[in-house]
Amino acid sequence: MRIATMAKALVGLLLWIVVALCLFLTLVPPFLDRTYYRGPETAHFDGARFANPDGDSAPVPATGFAFLVQRFLSMTQQPPWPASVPVTPGLPPARVDGQAMKVTWIGHASVLIQSQGLNILTDPVWSDVAGPLGIGPKRVAAPGVRLADLPRIDLIVVSHNHYDHLDLATLKTIWQRDRPLIVTGLGNDSVIGQAGVPARGLDWGQRLTLRPGIDVVVTRNHHWSSRWFADRNRALWSSFVVTLPGGNLFFAGDTGWGDGKWPAEAAALGPVRFAALPIGAFRFKPGQMAADAHIGPRDAIRVWDGLGRPWALPIHWGTFRLSWEAYRTRRTCSRRCSAVAGPVPIASSIMLSAAASTCLRSACHHRRRATRASRRAVPRGASTASAEVETLRNRS
């Protein structure tokens, strides 16, 4: 009797799910048309959805539901991660004037860059969970700077609409306090606007001038976008160049290697002085997610080389668990890449001078020397969740 009752309840639940799914598929497309960008077709936009012009070698699942199923099925195969890692938050200065530059890694893809009296923030995410309704990857390392301790922000760039990069709660808090200029790719401005926060949506190659000689340029990278179940690639993904006296700033966003031409395209806008390059979430099981949507340490070096080998900070690792790789990736990297991320587990905050921040810059030609130097500079168990890199007035 009990089994029959449970069976009826299960059938009823399944019927409600089918009805809800039908309503969802009926109502969502018109909603998306109002939410996302509608404009003329281009080489990477068909009038409704964006695409990587260099193609996708491993496309993402056709629907968000398929993606969630694949994620769930792969969870039992993932190596363990710590529930939390202690981080001592830093306190950045109010401003950094002139050509001096201070870069603070807040965690994941959130980076604070201070130079020319400007405070620039990339993909700010202070929420504990990267997902809707508190469902999603939970951060294991607290932000390297408390939200209340942030200096007044002048510019925010948002690379795409994934929850670990576009955090509406954080954007709303910062905008209400500082009223910064927010620049993002086409379509993401509508998502941000739903929180009552104005943003400027630009296409690849478009720019805004902050002041004479300082522009923010939206540049190409290789990724995808989705925030709901049926909105795959309805908004654009991007990297950014901020032109600065003394050398440009490059933020790669979230990206795969693709055709490998986009780093040179960014470098063509002028010499790159500093680059924030993702190195995490690159190890995926077949079918779990797009294998070409993220770069690891090895491809990060290729990107860095295409940018002209500027000072660089590895980001997008050790904060949210997004893929199959273990928490410490030291043994998963080749010797050539070990100076990038291998010897740097997350645990505490450190300060690196320009002379000590050469781990990525030295990886190709001085591999052993850079590895030894990085191990001396970063004690075993040290953290980059709030690591700071000071790029001095003279790079040499």
Spatial distance between the Cα atoms of 376 and 352, rounded to a whole number of angstroms: 11
- Identify the DSSP state of 245: T
Cβ proximity of 97 and 116 under 8 Å: yes
Element (H, E) at 21: helix 2-35
Count the domains in the chain: 1
CATH number at residue 322: 3.60.15.10
- Identify the DSSP state of 331: G
Cβ proximity of 245 and 221 under 8 Å: no
For 29, residues 6+ apart whose C-beta sits below 8 A from its C-beta are 230
The reported pLDDT for the residue numbered 12 is 65
Q: Is residue 3 part of a domain?
A: no
Can you give the pLDDT of all 396 residues of the chain as single tens digits?
567 666 666 766 776 776 555 555 544 555 555 678 889 999 999 999 999 998 876 555 545 555 555 555 555 566 777 788 888 888 899 999 888 888 888 999 999 999 999 999 999 999 999 988 888 889 999 999 999 999 999 999 999 999 999 999 999 999 999 999 999 999 999 999 989 999 999 999 999 999 999 999 999 999 889 887 778 899 999 999 999 998 999 999 999 998 999 999 999 999 999 999 998 876 655 444 445 788 888 889 999 999 999 888 888 888 888 877 766 543 443 343 434 433 333 322 333 333 333 334 333 333 333 334 333 333 333 343 334 444 333 333
CA proximity to 249, closest of 269, 220, 222: 269
- From the CB of residue 303, how many other CB atoms can be counted at a distance below 10 Å? 25
Spatial distance between the Cα atoms of 359 and 342, rounded to a whole number of angstroms: 11
* Local structure of 273: helix, strand or coil: strand
Pairing of strands 181-185, 200-202: parallel
In whole angstroms, how large is the CA radius of gyration of the chain? 21
Pairing of strands 110-115, 101-107: antiparallel
Q: Is residue 357 part of a domain?
A: yes
Q: Is residue 274 part of a domain?
A: yes
Cβ proximity of 157 and 183 under 8 Å: yes
CA proximity to 341, closest of 352, 332, 330, 327: 330
Give the number of residues written for the chain.
Answer: 396
Q: What is the dihedral of CA 187, 182, 208, 395, to 10 degrees?
A: -120
Q: Is residue 306 part of a domain?
A: yes
Cβ proximity of 273 and 311 under 8 Å: yes
Range of the domain at 281: 101-391
In Å, what is the CA distance from 119 to each residue of 96, 101, 165, 372?
Answer: 8, 10, 18, 33
- Return the residue matching tokens 């050790």: 318
- From the CB of residue 330, how many other CB atoms can be counted at a distance below 10 Å? 12
Tokens of 122: 């990339």
Identity at 347, one-letter amino acid code: A
- From the CB of residue 64, how many other CB atoms can be counted at a distance below 10 Å? 16
| Neighbouring-strand partners of residue 88 | none
Q: Is residue 96 part of a domain?
A: no
Q: Is residue 280 part of a domain?
A: yes
Q: Is residue 202 part of a domain?
A: yes
The reported pLDDT for the residue numbered 178 is 98
The structure's pTM equals 0.79
Element (H, E) at 111: strand 110-115
Spatial distance between the Cα atoms of 55 and 29, rounded to a whole number of angstroms: 25
Spatial distance between the Cα atoms of 166 and 158, rounded to a whole number of angstroms: 6
Q: Is residue 53 part of a domain?
A: no
Phi, psi of 110 (to 5 degrees): -90, 115
The reported pLDDT for the residue numbered 298 is 83
Cβ proximity of 92 and 101 under 8 Å: no
